[in-house]
Structure 1
Amino acid sequence: MANTAQARKRARQAVAQNKHNSSLRSLLRTSIKRVRQAIEAGDQAKANEVFSRATSVIDRVADKKIIHKNKAARHKSRLAAAIKALA
């Protein structure tokens, strides 16, 4: 348990920040799953549409340093390659 007022406040802030980061991480995973589902369905038009929204989410999460920028680039690259392979 935190002993000082400052440490108690930082503990409270850490809980709130963890909750916020968890929701953003969940949004990231959901957007990636939506793209994968469109790819598996073989619908290239829908996959492109969902991919553009997912790209925005991936970049936003990476900018906030919730995931590393290289991981974001890797996700975008692999999804783009999978969509391109549908053609």
Structure 2
Amino acid sequence: MANTPSAKKAARKIARRTVVNGARRSRMRTYLRKVEEALASGSQDDARAALKAAEPEIMRAAQKGVLHKNTASRKVSRLAARVKALSA
């Protein structure tokens, strides 16, 4: 348990940040799930629209520190490749 006032304050800050990051992560995963569902349905138009909505969310998560920048870029790249492959 935190003993010093600064450690107690740090613990409060971490708790608040954890809640915020959890919400951001959940929101991002929701958008990812929508892209996955669109890919599974086989509709390229739906998949393209879902990806267009998901990409800013993924990059926002990276910007806010929920994901690493390279991880976010990799996710977007792989999703885009899968959406592109639907037409082939």
Cα distance, 1:18 vs structure 2: 0.4
Q: Which residue of 1 aligns with 2:70?
A: 70
Question: What are the equivalent positions in structure 2 for 1:5-24 lying under 5 Å apart?
Answer: 5-24=5-24
Gaps of 5+ in 1: none
Gaps of 5+ in 2: none
Q: Is 2:36 aligned against 1:36?
A: yes
SS in 2 for 1:65: coil
| Residue type at the aligned position of 2:47 | A
- Alignment TM-score, normalising by the size of structure 2: 0.94
Output one character per residue of 1:15-73: Cα deviation in whole Å (capped at 9) or x when no partner. Answer: 01001001111111111111010011011111111111100100100011211111101
Q: Which residue of 1 aligns with 2:58?
A: 58
RMSD: 0.8
SS in 1 for 2:65: coil
Distance in 2 (CA, whole Å) between partners of 1:7 and 1:69 is 29
